[in-house]
Amino acid sequence: MFKILYSSQLQNLYIDKPIIIKPNILSEQAPPKTTDVLVVHALVQFLKLHFSNCPIIIAEGCCTTEYTTTQLFDIHGYTKLAEIEDVLLVDLNIAPTSIKYNEDALSLNKFFVSNIFDDAFVISVPALKGHGLVGFTGCLKNMFGIAPAYIYKVLGRANKFALHKRLHDSIVDINRYVKIDFCIMDASIGLKDHHRYGIPCNPPINELYCGYDPVAMDIYCCPKVCSKTKWEHIPYLVWAEGTLGSSKFEVIEC
């Protein structure tokens, strides 16, 4: 893990603000359906080594209504990680929010988002998966979890269900409100074609990817788990390309 991070030159950045790590903890299901805590733990150790003055926050807001995010932190080992490394865990489903506005948004002209993102360095750490609704889920779709459930929940449905009416639009808009500064793709296994019912890659991909451009990362990784869908046929990636990032980017592998 340290090898790929050093290759990215992350250690040479000047960061003088809180660092927020956003893993993908969709549910109680184990990797590859969720981000492996070992990947996040190694990232935390690297950040503490090179940015010792920056507070580190692991933040997530789960989609399932069967568990709270705090319970999932415990199930997947993030609570223990936070205790060992002295980092803060934040449940974005219940954290205090403020309203942001964007007149140029595709559909979310206003968005409720936690105040912790106001001045922070944001690292998206998704698990590499296909997706049953939008085709692919990676760095950009991972940010869907920052939407607070108490605002975007629909009774009897998933915690973010109010954003599903125009799902591709919502993914793009959310990433306009909160920009990703760095991303690490957990491709230690990989999940084919569907985020819940897909088949784990066999053999496992057994790789990590990192970079500063989430659009390039997603476009690069999409064909690794999407057997029937090309990125050019995924609306949110098409709309994001050229605005939130570029497909022309060198991705670092390890």
Q: What CATH number is attached to the domain comprising 221?
A: 3.40.50
Q: What is the pLDDT along the chain (254 residues), one digit of tens a residue?
A: 899 999 999 999 999 999 999 999 988 999 999 999 999 999 999 999 999 999 999 999 999 999 999 999 999 999 999 999 999 999 999 999 999 999 999 999 999 999 999 999 999 999 999 999 999 999 999 999 999 999 999 887 878 999 988 999 999 999 999 999 999 999 999 999 988 889 999 999 999 999 999 999 999 999 999 988 899 999 999 999 999 998 876 555 55
* Contact between 215 and 236 (Cβ < 8 Å): no
Rounded Cα distance between 32 and 46, Å, is: 23
Report how many domains make up the chain: 1
* Contact between 114 and 146 (Cβ < 8 Å): yes
Which residues, 6 or more positions from 66, have their beta carbon under 8 angstroms from its beta carbon?
27, 28
- Residue 155: the pLDDT is 82
The tokens describing 24, both together, are 């993908």
- Residue 181: the pLDDT is 98
Query: Which residue range is the domain that position 155 belongs to?
Result: 2-253
Residue 15, class by beta-carbon neighbours within 10 Å (0-12 exposed, 13-18 middle, 19+ buried)? Answer: middle
Is the pTM value of this prediction over 0.75?
yes
- Residue 252: the pLDDT is 55
- Identity of the amino acid at 246: S
- Residue 94: the pLDDT is 96
- Residue 254: the pLDDT is 57
